[in-house]
């Protein structure tokens, strides 16, 4: 598609899409109307439009506009500008709510030639059509205009949304080369919405999964945790296995399906258990379970194969050595590739190493006092009962699940919330090394 000859967009009328103004967050409507009153074009963009059409409550209501960041700031005193490469404005409301407003961007900046081309460091502003072409998936590139209550579709995304199709915008291999994290977003939306990934996109995912290692570890961790806590991790796991993405995120399982006793299907019950646990915590109004617990559950089949952690044993003499061996392997694999904190790595190692003791005393229906006094007892006991739910379909007792969750720290990053407005730190996609693209390693 020529940069100078973008096709005319399709206009989806209210009768066709069914989205009404009362479905949109009141603060987002306030921002849209104020921008419009000041003479600027403004649209509800991206995932908010997608979710409203699908009948889901949007996680975010993001806004696109032709107003420059400085002009937006002057309109909203309760705002700040963030970002280095792409400046956008966060508008703050009560109860910590944040509406993000971004200026429409140019296609020329997105469609550079050559695999080593480095994106320009400044903002290049553009039209709605150009901005839509920059986005990752067609279903995420729809614009909703509140004056006419129409959807503006530059990429045939509405047809894909109706038909349940995941399709990358542009040439998939090239888009993945620019930002490999787009692969995670593609399978995420397929899993959460039970959509089908179209053939060109699927082939590109399978061919390029190895490029995830180019991304910053912290960025991969944050994206992975979104999927683990999504409620659709079992579907996500199936797609990520078929494309090879799972083995890039969890190199501890890489090639083990072929050469040892951990076939992919043996992990499926663990992901289904994670989805059930997350649903129970949400329905009970509780905080999500901690990262280290769910990651330990995912690693349990591997740990059991190599360290027999599900074999009952009252012997505690070698537990420290097993924990150290587990920690060394975790440090060398997912600890490094996902940028897990030292405390998270230690929690995982400790819980997995002490599962044999939990198994032994549970079978006797007796928890000795010395064991209950151990700092790891409650967390390790919960992991053990989670493993029973996965392997024996025995639901975790409510009193264990909820009591442990009450005392557990909040997960570090499944977060549905926006950035902390008081936190001053580098964005996850900023380059940490000279010459990096989107923080990628050279």
How many structural domains does the chain have? 2
**Cα–Cα distance for residue pair 181/214, rounded to 1 Å:** 10
CB 121: neighbour CB atoms within 10 A? 8
Radius of gyration (C-alpha) of the chain in whole angstroms: 24
Q: Is 208 within the bounds of a domain?
A: no
Mark which of 99, 130, 163 sits at the end of a domain: 163
- What's the pLDDT at 256? 52
Q: Determine contact, residues 135/46, Cβ cutoff 8 Å.
A: yes
Q: Is 337 within the bounds of a domain?
A: yes
**Cα–Cα distance for residue pair 411/340, rounded to 1 Å:** 12
**Cα–Cα distance for residue pair 24/210, rounded to 1 Å:** 39
Q: Is 143 within the bounds of a domain?
A: yes
Residue 10, strand partner residues: 153
Model confidence, pTM: 0.84
Pair (158, 26) in one structural domain: yes
With b for 16 or more beta-carbon neighbours within 10 A and e for fewer, the 282-314 pattern comes to eeeeeebbbbbbbbbbbbbbbbbebbebbeeee
CB 61: neighbour CB atoms within 10 A? 26
Return the residue matching tokens 């306030």. Answer: 30
Q: Is 170 within the bounds of a domain?
A: no
**Cα–Cα distance for residue pair 162/157, rounded to 1 Å:** 9
Mark which of 163, 184, 199 sits at the end of a domain: 163
**Cα–Cα distance for residue pair 28/34, rounded to 1 Å:** 10
Q: Is 366 within the bounds of a domain?
A: yes
Residue 116, classed as helix, strand or coil, is coil
Pair (15, 146) in one structural domain: yes
**Angle CA(417)–CA(48)–CA(64) in degrees, nearest 5?**
95
- What's the pLDDT at 406? 54
- What's the pLDDT at 246? 95
Q: What is the mean pLDDT of each run of 10 residues along the chain (442 residues)?
A: 62 96 96 96 96 94 94 95 86 94 75 42 73 93 96 96 97 94 97 97 97 94 96 96 94 66 79 96 89 96 91 77 92 93 95 93 84 92 95 90 61 47 42 46 47
CATH number at residue 115: 3.30.460.10
Which residues contact residue 215 at a Cβ distance below 8 angstroms, ignoring those fewer than 6 apart?
Answer: 180, 181, 438, 439, 440
Structure tokens at 94: 């009560």
Q: In which domain, by residue range, is 137 found?
A: 1-163
Phi-psi domain of 193 (left: phi exceeds 0; alpha: psi -120 through 50; beta: other): alpha
Q: Is 146 within the bounds of a domain?
A: yes
Pair (1, 141) in one structural domain: yes
Q: Is 255 within the bounds of a domain?
A: no
Active site residues: 60, 62, 136
Q: Is 429 within the bounds of a domain?
A: no
Mark which of 163, 186, 212 sits at the end of a domain: 163
Cα(first)–Cα(last) distance of the chain, in Å? 29
**Helix residue spans in 94-209 (DSSP H):** 128-134, 157-163, 172-178, 182-193, 199-208
């Amino acid at each position: 598609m020529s940069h100078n000859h973008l096709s005319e967009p399709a206009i989806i009328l209210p009768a066709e899409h069914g989205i009404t103004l009362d479905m949109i967050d009141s603060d987002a409507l306030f921002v849209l109307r104020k921008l419009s009153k000041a003479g600027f074009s403004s649209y509800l963009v991206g995932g908010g439009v997608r979710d409203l059409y699908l009948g889901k409550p949007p996680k975010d209501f993001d806004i696109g506009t032709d107003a420059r960041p400085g002009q937006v700031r002057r309109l909203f005193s309760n705002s700040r500008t963030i970002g280095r490469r792409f400046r956008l404005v966060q508008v703050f409301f009560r109860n910590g709510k944040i509406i993000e407003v971004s200026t429409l961007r140019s296609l020329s900046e997105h469609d550079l030639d050559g695999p080593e081309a480095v994106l320009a460091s400044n903002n290049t502003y553009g039209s709605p059509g150009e901005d839509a072409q920059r986005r990752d998936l067609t279903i995420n590139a729809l614009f909703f205009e509140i004056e006419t209550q129409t959807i503006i579709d530059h990429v045939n995304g509405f047809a894909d949304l109706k038909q349940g199709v995941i399709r990358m915008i542009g040439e998939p291999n090239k888009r993945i080369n620019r930002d490999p994290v787009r692969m995670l977003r593609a399978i995420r939306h397929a899993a959460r919405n039970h959509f089908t990934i179209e053939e060109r996109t699927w082939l590109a995912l399978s061919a390029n999964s190895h490029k995830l290692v180019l991304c910053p570890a912290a960025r991969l961790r944050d994206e992975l945790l979104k999927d683990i806590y999504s409620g659709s991790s079992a579907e996500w796991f199936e797609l990520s296995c078929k494309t090879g993405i799972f083995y890039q995120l969890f190199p501890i399982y890489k090639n083990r399906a072929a050469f040892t006793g951990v076939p992919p299907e043996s992990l499926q019950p663990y992901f289904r258990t994670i989805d059930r646990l997350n649903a129970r915590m949400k329905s009970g109004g509780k905080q999500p379970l901690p990262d280290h617990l769910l990651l330990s559950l995912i690693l349990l089949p591997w740990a059991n194969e190599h360290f027999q952690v599900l074999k009952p044993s009252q012997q505690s003499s070698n537990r420290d050595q097993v924990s150290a061996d587990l920690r060394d392997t975790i440090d060398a694999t997912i600890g490094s590739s996902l940028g897990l904190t030292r405390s998270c790595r230690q929690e995982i190692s400790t819980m997995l190493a002490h599962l044999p003791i939990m198994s032994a005393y549970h079978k006797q229906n007796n928890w000795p006092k010395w064991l209950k006094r151990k700092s790891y007892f409650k967390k390790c006991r919960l992991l053990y009962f989670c493993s029973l739910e996965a392997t024996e379909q025995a639901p975790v007792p409510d009193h264990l699940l909820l009591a442990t969750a009450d005392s557990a720290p909040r997960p570090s990053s499944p977060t549905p919330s926006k950035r902390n407005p008081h936190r001053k730190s580098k964005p996850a996609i900023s380059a940490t090394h000279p010459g990096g693209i989107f923080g990628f390693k050279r």
